[in-house]
Amino acid sequence: MRFTFASLVFAVAAAGCATDDGGRTGSELQTSPDPTATYRVVLQLSSAGSGIDHAAESDVFALINRYDIDLSPDLHEWGLEGERNLCFGLTGLNAEAQTIFVGKLDEIAQARQLVFVYQNARCDTFGE
């Protein structure tokens, strides 16, 4: 019985260490941003000593998954605590759909801390 209990404790502890990927696939964040390009919208996930807001990132990927086209962002990682910029070209969306998408990103950012949205910016944007 002791071995079974120890195995259960180990399994629960190992599951607790797993990270939530927000429903994204491994290929969605492997592209490199164009250092000279201006992206339609950049979502910045910042940190103040405790890592990024993973729930905000999950919300962003849930939003992406609502679309029938590939809206996978380019990724610019810049911090020691997982800070990153998700950079969207949005070329597959018309102007109205882009405005709606950017508005949804704004809603996500406003509901969270240290999440910022920049329009028509480079992927390595760090604020205004």
What is the DSSP-derived secondary structure letter of residue 27?
A: G
| E strands present in the chain | 39-45, 74-77, 84-88, 115-121
> Comparing C-alpha atoms, which of 72, 69, 82, 80 is closest to residue 20?
82
In terms of Cβ atoms closer than 10 Å to its own Cβ (0-12, 13-18, 19+), residue 86 is: buried
pLDDT confidence bin for 79, thresholds 50/70/90? confident
Comparing 17-21, 71-75, 119-123, the range with the smallest average pLDDT is 17-21
Q: What strand order describes the sheet that includes 74-77?
A: 74-77, 84-88, 39-45, 115-121
Question: 88-105: per-residue pLDDT in tens?
Answer: 999 999 999 999 999 999
Higher local confidence (pLDDT), 83 or 128: 83
> Comparing C-alpha atoms, which of 74, 106, 71 is closest to residue 91?
71
Question: 39-69: per-residue pLDDT in tens?
Answer: 999 999 999 888 999 999 999 999 999 999 9
